[in-house]
Amino acid sequence: MHCTLRRAETLTAGVCADYALRALLLEAWFGPKPGLVDRFSSNSHHDMDYELFRRSSFALRPWFEKVFTEAEKNADLDLSQLFSSCLRPLGIEAEAEMLRITGGVNTHRGALFSIGLLGSAFAVLRTRGEPVTIKAVRQSAAFMVQGISLELDKVKASAGEGARGEAEAGFPSLDAALRRLGESDINALTDLALELEQGSCSDRKAGFIDYELSRVLVSVSAIMEDSNIIRRSGRDVLNTYRHFCRRVDRGADRIEQLWSEEYHRLCLFTLEKGISPGGAADMVSAALFLTFLEKNE
């Protein structure tokens, strides 16, 4: 996505925070998902459920607005200085609020980091009057956090660089997510996300949206080195999971092919191993956020 975002001047910090909220709500809602919390089940998680994700999402919305506003106010700073001096302290406060709301459960740490970075990068580009494209937003976000993965200790680094490495590299896993979303019914996704924010969700296109977003998740999982899975069960299990995802992804061009025995085997595998592809879920949320920014209606 290299085109300039439509009506970027109308995307205030508050509007961007609304899009961030809707992205989180939509990601938590769709299902069935392999290992992840959705509106049907907690799956591999015993300490969280769909309602907890909703509460966490709403709690983070004002913090996204604060972070994006701070980026606008300090857009003249060097990007790395902006992150370390202004954005990171706010992110730490936002994470503390999330943990307070959830009773210490990490529902959205990765999504907070990724969407916070991308939204802040957008705010800087818009405030500076520079061309605002998805590519430029991703590159600016990467510049903000160069070297951040070096802060990981050896134990954490052995499980991969996770969200930090993804951000430093310009979010390469977003390519698969944005490509699949580009094939989706964006109007239906936008309408449902707004309904979820307002608490009045209809089932008009529920099955089809479940299908489209599951395709996005599987496409990302097929290529991503998800540190959440590595930390829980090791690289061998991750490789098996990714193999399942590649097989499902290759046959997911029609709804009856995605909801196949292969997809159900994938979901069962995550339950048997107790794994949850949280990194891929964060990329789905981030891709939805960028898609809402690009559509901007």
Q: How far apart are CA 245 and CA 34, in angstroms?
A: 10
Whole-number Cα distances in Å, 50 to 26, 27, 234: 11, 10, 27
- Which residue segment(s) compose the domain that 204 sits in? 8-295
pLDDT in tens, 221-251: 999 999 989 988 899 999 999 999 998 888 7
Question: Is residue 56 assigned to a domain?
Answer: yes
pLDDT in tens, 108-128: 999 999 999 999 999 999 999
Question: Is residue 204 assigned to a domain?
Answer: yes
**H helix count then E strand count, the chain:** 16, 0
Q: What tokens does 44 get? A: 């591999």
Check: CB of residue 289 under 8 Å from CB of residue 264. Answer: no
Question: Is residue 3 assigned to a domain?
Answer: no
pTM (predicted TM-score): 0.94
Give every residue of the chain whose pLDDT is below 70, as ranges.
1-4, 6, 152-161, 202-204, 252-259, 297
Domains of the chain: total: 1
Q: What do you get for the CA distance between the two ends of the chain, in Å?
A: 18
Question: Is residue 2 assigned to a domain?
Answer: no
